[in-house]
Structure 1
Amino acid sequence: MASKSSDSSHEQPSLNYRKSVEIKASPDQFFVWREFLWGGIAGAFGEGMMHPVDTLKTRLQSQIIMNATQRPKSIPQMLRTVWVGDGLKGFYRGIAPGITGSLATGATYFGFIESTKIWIEESHPSLAGHWAHFIAGAIGDTLGSFIYVPCEVIKQRMQIQGTSSSWSSFISRNNLPVKPKGDMYAYYTGMFQAGCSIWKEQGPKGLYAGYGSTLARDVPFAGLMVVFYEALKDLAEQGKKKFPQYGINGSIEGLVLGGLAGGLSAYLTTPLDVVKTRLQVQGTTIKYKGWLDAVGQIWRKEGPEGFFRGSVPRVMWYIPASALTFMAVEFLRDNFREKGNNNNNVVSNLSIERKTSSSVHEVSEN
């Protein structure tokens, strides 16, 4: 973008000069379509790569729902159970709704997070810094929850079912009555069939089962991840200034810092994830009457260990998933900026990083 001088009589054609002016951020700069696109692509990419680990986590956390009398299995035991009973495809059950939900969440998360952070810092300076990062992350994730939660319900129910033969075996072995008014839902053949089946049997309440618990998990998680990512980026910037010879590109930085931020946030919010999973997979068999009832029952029957069941695969999932997501976003941003610079355009850097002034941009003129 070039700025033309209003007084051409003062121009000196024989001299090349550079001038900086201040302009206000336009609506197009405030909500940038490419942030939604990149966030959606990155979110779907991360989910697709790490879905088998998520399946393992879901199976571990939902054991008491599926068989309350059986002793909970360890990670190696559950791996063997899924592999022997369902094979490789058992680990990929529910991947379609998983990718759909992650695409929506990734788009809104990255699409709104920077603009929200800028708005908070400008309109409420007292909330600048980590509070702005936390609130921005929470808002971005909340907006995606309207699509993400139904996809999450479908995904997790498909994950615990495994293949058709293993689900039929489970139903007959436990002598469970199935729909329309039975204790357990029938086998789902796909994402849309599952959604229609849940809607028919339970209505919107079924598709949004555990919605409050999902927000109770994801709002703190999303906020913490941005706070940790920002703090790690600050440390990285200090390191770059101290050791400029060891500079790394944005993609590698996003890979490392995103993985650390995601893993730490995932572990701290595991208890909230356990409650959410239990509420969403219980179907029409109501073991927990609500969020508080689930918390109370888990504490009384399983103790603190129950709240951290599945924490290892959850962290194992979020470290690479967050790393791949942030790496993909930073890669797309870096390449877009490079292309823009080659066309002599100044591209606003709307990445998750601290800006000294969000409404002032440098405009170059040759």
Structure 2
Amino acid sequence: MAVQSSTTHVPSTNKPHTHFFVWREFVWGAIAGAFGEGMMHPIDTIKTRIQSQAILSASQNQKSIIQMVKTVWVADGLRGFYRGITPGVTGSLATGATYFGVIESTKKWIEESHPGLGGHWAHFIAGALGDTLGSFVYVPCEVMKQRMQVQGTPRSWSSVIMKDNISLKPSMPMYGYYTGIFQAACSIWKEQGLKGLYAGYWSTLARDVPFAGLMVMSYEALKDVTEYGRQKWIPNSNWHVNSSLEGLLLGGLAGGFSAYLTTPLDVIKTRLQVQGSTTRYNGWFDAIHNIWKTEGTKGLFRGSIPRITWYIPASALTFMAVEFLRDHFNDHTQVASLLVDKKESSLQKVA
């Protein structure tokens, strides 16, 4: 009887570990997302400025990457590259948490309840769903971040909005200078309401849903290819790639590939969010039509190099951080549950 009571008690002690593991994915994702954003924010600032030149200047002589770096440095110094980092990190915390937290649970649910959608489709759907949920926090942060990025310092922003070629409506002045995330949120809410904070929301989803799905699917596919190559070329070896290193390399490749394919969607999103009350583009379709008409393919892929340059290391660092945290903080839980399972099976044999 004592043995039977022990076996019935073991499963109940195992449940908290499972739930804690899921919540831990949210925490690891948040930390990893914020880490990647914080490290690569200066490159994102250059990308945002390059993509928004058509909004802030009527000139068709767009600056190159090197020219833009020099412009930011001369006008604003080092501080200019880190404008908008607070809302950027805040948005990445939310996106990273939902992205990785939802991915793990969604992948398992899809593979178990809908076997036909298993494999890469499960990874795509999980990534898209995770990013969609994070968008409710991410988009307002992205609007604030990008407007702060193009503003630079108060002096440089004042010189921009005083130019005649900015095409402002007399009754709708350009938004004022944002001193921080809270002042930016209050200012946008006061001037444009909820619509202002969620400017470009659908264009953000149009960019991020395929991007998130593609990145997870590419990452998992690259892991499968790596494992296949290992089994084929060194089948009898105990050699194993460190998961953190694997996350660094494969995450970077997956992020760069997905970033390039979704660059046109990123250009549209950036311009809709930066324009404020200038209303140069009346929605997603009007933006893509006008960009294609006036700037062609080059305009749609404007900022692709800094975007890829940002996403390769950012994705690499994010996946590396997640794999590292999983290895160092999840192993003891998995080992504990394995020991419980072994103990349970031995007790059942005795019974």
The structure 1 residue matched to 2:301, chosen from 294, 299, 308, is 308
Aligned counterparts, 1:22-61, within 5 A: 29=18, 32-61=22-51
In structure 1, C-alpha distance between the alignment counterparts of 2:206 and 2:5, rounded to whole Å = 58
In structure 2, C-alpha distance between the alignment counterparts of 1:345 and 1:28, rounded to whole Å = 9
In structure 2, C-alpha distance between the alignment counterparts of 1:55 and 1:107, rounded to whole Å = 23
Q: In structure 2, do the counterparts of structure 1 residues 171 and 61 end up closer, same or farther at CA, with 3 Å as the change threshold?
A: same
User: What is the CA deviation profile of residues 204-241 of structure 1, one whole-angstrom value per residue up to 9, with x for unaligned ones?
Assistant: 00000000000000000000001100100101112333
User: What is the CA deviation profile of residues 241-289 of structure 1, one whole-angstrom value per residue up to 9, with x for unaligned ones?
Assistant: 3333652211111101111100100000001000100100000000110
In structure 2, C-alpha distance between the alignment counterparts of 1:128 and 1:200, rounded to whole Å = 46
Question: How far is the alpha carbon of 1:182 from its aligned partner?
Answer: 3.1
In structure 1, C-alpha distance between the alignment counterparts of 2:56 and 2:146, rounded to whole Å = 13
Q: In structure 2, do the counterparts of structure 1 residues 173 and 332 end up closer, same or farther at CA, with 3 Å as the change threshold?
A: same
1:345 aligns with 2:323: no
Q: Indicate the structure with greater helix content.
A: 2
Q: In structure 2, do the counterparts of structure 1 residues 180 and 113 end up closer, same or farther at CA, with 3 Å as the change threshold?
A: farther
- On the 8 A contact 2:131/2:212 being kept in 1, the answer is yes
Question: How far is the alpha carbon of 1:26 from its aligned partner?
Answer: 5.2
The residue aligned with 2:259 is 266
1:141 aligns with 2:141: no
Code of the residue aligned with 2:296 in structure 1: it is G
- On the 8 A contact 1:179/1:185 being kept in 2, the answer is no
Question: How far is the alpha carbon of 1:170 from its aligned partner?
Answer: 1.5
Q: In structure 2, do the counterparts of structure 1 residues 259 and 330 end up closer, same or farther at CA, with 3 Å as the change threshold?
A: same
The structure 2 residue matched to 1:172, chosen from 159, 162, 167, is 162
In structure 2, C-alpha distance between the alignment counterparts of 1:228 and 1:89, rounded to whole Å = 35
1:80 aligns with 2:70: yes
Code of the residue aligned with 1:232 in structure 2: it is L
In structure 1, C-alpha distance between the alignment counterparts of 2:58 and 2:271, rounded to whole Å = 12
SS of residue matched to 1:182: coil
The structure 1 residue matched to 2:311, chosen from 304, 318, 335, is 318
Which blocks of at least 5 consecutive residues in structure 2 are unaligned? Answer: 347-351
In structure 2, C-alpha distance between the alignment counterparts of 1:171 and 1:205, rounded to whole Å = 22
Q: In structure 2, do the counterparts of structure 1 residues 176 and 318 end up closer, same or farther at CA, with 3 Å as the change threshold?
A: closer
Q: In structure 2, do the counterparts of structure 1 residues 362 and 59 end up closer, same or farther at CA, with 3 Å as the change threshold?
A: farther
The structure 1 residue matched to 2:248, chosen from 249, 255, 261, is 255
1:186 aligns with 2:179: no
- On the 8 A contact 2:57/2:165 being kept in 1, the answer is no
- On the 8 A contact 1:141/1:218 being kept in 2, the answer is yes
Question: How far is the alpha carbon of 1:68 from its aligned partner?
Answer: 1.7
In structure 1, C-alpha distance between the alignment counterparts of 2:170 and 2:185, rounded to whole Å = 15
- On the 8 A contact 1:61/1:274 being kept in 2, the answer is yes
Question: How far is the alpha carbon of 1:175 from its aligned partner?
Answer: 7.9
- On the 8 A contact 2:43/2:306 being kept in 1, the answer is yes
1:292 aligns with 2:292: no
In structure 1, C-alpha distance between the alignment counterparts of 2:17 and 2:336, rounded to whole Å = 15
Code of the residue aligned with 2:113 in structure 1: it is S
Code of the residue aligned with 1:364 in structure 2: it is K
Question: How far is the alpha carbon of 1:337 from its aligned partner?
Answer: 3.1
In structure 1, C-alpha distance between the alignment counterparts of 2:280 and 2:189, rounded to whole Å = 20
Aligned counterparts, 1:8-19, within 5 A: none
1:363 aligns with 2:341: yes
In structure 2, C-alpha distance between the alignment counterparts of 1:68 and 1:5, rounded to whole Å = 81
Question: How far is the alpha carbon of 1:336 from its aligned partner?
Answer: 1.1
SS of residue matched to 2:4: coil
- On the 8 A contact 2:169/2:278 being kept in 1, the answer is no
Code of the residue aligned with 2:65 in structure 1: it is I
Code of the residue aligned with 2:4 in structure 1: it is S
TM-score normalised to the size of structure 1?
0.86
The structure 2 residue matched to 1:334, chosen from 327, 330, 349, is 327
The residue aligned with 2:349 is none
- On the 8 A contact 2:56/2:166 being kept in 1, the answer is no
- On the 8 A contact 2:281/2:287 being kept in 1, the answer is yes
Q: In structure 2, do the counterparts of structure 1 residues 27 and 273 end up closer, same or farther at CA, with 3 Å as the change threshold?
A: farther
Count of residue pairs brought into register by the alignment? 336
The residue aligned with 2:105 is 115
The residue aligned with 1:69 is 59
- On the 8 A contact 1:94/1:156 being kept in 2, the answer is yes
Question: How far is the alpha carbon of 1:178 from its aligned partner?
Answer: 8.9
The residue aligned with 2:150 is 160
- On the 8 A contact 1:178/1:185 being kept in 2, the answer is no
- On the 8 A contact 2:57/2:166 being kept in 1, the answer is no
In structure 2, C-alpha distance between the alignment counterparts of 1:196 and 1:224, rounded to whole Å = 35
Tell me the C-alpha RMSD between the 2 structures: 2.6
User: What is the CA deviation profile of residues 311-354 of structure 1, one whole-angstrom value per residue up to 9, with x for unaligned ones?
Assistant: 0000000000000001011111100134446xx5137xxxxxxx
Q: In structure 2, do the counterparts of structure 1 residues 62 and 178 end up closer, same or farther at CA, with 3 Å as the change threshold?
A: closer
